[in-house]
Structure 1
Amino acid sequence: MRQGQVTETEVREAVRLFREPHKAKQVIAALTELQSYGTDVLFVDGDLHISGDLDLSDEEVYLLVVRGDLTVGGCYGDSDDPESFLLVTGDMRARDVVTAGWLEVHGDLHTGRLIGDYNDCSALIGGDVHAALFYGEEHWFTIDGRLDANVVIGTPRTSAECPAVLELDDVRLLEHFDRELLYADVDVDADGNPLVEVDGFRDFGAVKRRVRAGQPLHAHGRD
């Protein structure tokens, strides 16, 4: 839009595709101010393939609309400050996803690690979610289809029925995350046997950085 290839009329038509009307209302209200903030609106009429990472904040993108499928070879990321919006009318595939902004996919979402971040914004997936690991944190996920995840960490805030969940005090988190990422202490019980206690993430920022960089969360590369 900053290069004049997309008109305001086209953007207004495109955002009507949002299934949550408040998003379209918010984007339309912001259109007149986007130029002064130096952010952009991108519109793709068809499929979009990005070979590497796609971070809307890094690209200074306020809104990306893909009328088709979106494939990201690396990590997809967005932000809640400043807010960013992604609308995909087809399916989305990404190596990993770290979402703090407004994410809406009308088809299925296929990814390795799906990480939510904070609760100001939310995600809407019209189809199924397929992920190796899902940690929603405080982010809300509306999933109209099925949630198919090998590992679900914490009880996510979601409309979907969840597979078995590893709560944040479950010692089995050590099978999926390095110890330095967790509040994990080793004590002994009354009989002198080792007693391991886990109490959530010590450094959630480090978890997100590893996912964005494509690095394993566990030394043995399990996740």
Structure 2
Amino acid sequence: MIAHARSYKRNQVSRAEVLTAIGRFHDEYKIKRVTASLDEIENYTSDIWLVDDDLHIPGDLELAHECAYLLVVLGDLVVDGVYGDSDDPESFLLVTGNMRARDVVTAGWLEVHGDLSTDRLIGDYNDCGAYIGGDVHAQLFYGEHHHFTIGGALSANAVIGRPSLEIATPPAVIDIDDLRMLEHFDRDLLRVFDDHDDDGNAITYVDGFRDFREPKRRVYAGLPFRAAETRDN
């Protein structure tokens, strides 16, 4: 159970409160989707949770593990560990303030009205999307095929791939077949080929990730993408 959160299924949150809260969503689709679910939520294994102020999670926050179909935080959200959501089952997060987490892996509907600050920001699949109204600060951003809308600026040491990104000023990117990938990821995470050119000189090719599940596993485990690095957990 999420500390200080009120439950819809336990009658701690009224339907009117839920409707008022989701009226803050940026996208009409999400408002309609959650509204329609209110008549079916009793059949769900998940619940709707409402936090009336700031929320601090001392460890990880995985919406599926918390049985959260929707989590609304009317304030700032701080997650000391990794934040994760999913598209199957579908989940929603709405934060009206700022959000900070050690790492973020988002496959579901993530919406933050303020700034988002994290070490690694990872998108996962393309069924849902993320909306950040303010700035995004990250050490590494890999959007995969997930759609991100950022109202402010994106400040990242490395933007990997060509993310599905709606932003005023698109960032410079490192393509997944760029040799600079080896500066950010261990070779065993990547498809790397060593060869020789026509003059016999050694050359190396990179062709993206071997299996995207392994970088995600490292994020959830708090492990670096490069073994030479250390991380403060």
Normalised by the length of structure 2, the TM-score is: 0.93
What's the RMSD between the two structures over aligned residues? 1.1
Q: Choose the corresponding residue for 1:221, options 204, 229, 233.
A: 229
Aligned length: 223
Indicate if the aligned counterparts of 1:176 and 1:222 stay in contact, CA closer than 8 A.
no
Partner of 1:193: 201
Rounded Cα–Cα distance in structure 1 between residues aligned with 2:41 and 2:54? 25
- 1:40 matches 2:57: no
> Residues 97-130 of structure 1: CA distance to partner in whole angstroms, max 9, x if unpaired?
0000000000000000000011110000000000
Q: Per the alignment, in what secondary structure is the counterpart of residue 165 of structure 1?
A: coil
Partner of 1:152: 159
Rounded Cα–Cα distance in structure 2 between residues aligned with 1:222 and 1:215? 8
> Residues 70-114 of structure 1: CA distance to partner in whole angstroms, max 9, x if unpaired?
000000000001110000000000000000000000000000000
Rounded Cα–Cα distance in structure 2 between residues aligned with 1:21 and 1:162? 25
Please, which runs of 5 or more residues in structure 1 have no aligned partner? Answer: none
- 1:126 matches 2:133: yes
* Structure 1 letter corresponding to 2:76: D
Counterparts in 2 of 1:222 and 1:200: CA distance versus 1, 3 Å: farther
Partner of 1:54: 61
What is the CA-CA distance between 1:2 and the residue it aligns to? 2.3
Partner of 1:21: 28
- 1:173 matches 2:201: no
Q: Per the alignment, in what secondary structure is the counterpart of residue 78 of structure 2?
A: strand
1:193-212 → structure 2 map (5 Å cutoff): 193-212=201-220
* Structure 2 letter corresponding to 1:194: A
Task: Give identity over the alignment, percent.
Answer: 61
What is the CA-CA distance between 1:13 and the residue it aligns to? 1.2
1:102-113 → structure 2 map (5 Å cutoff): 102-113=109-120
What is the CA-CA distance between 1:196 and the residue it aligns to? 0.5
Rounded Cα–Cα distance in structure 2 between residues aligned with 1:219 and 1:192? 31
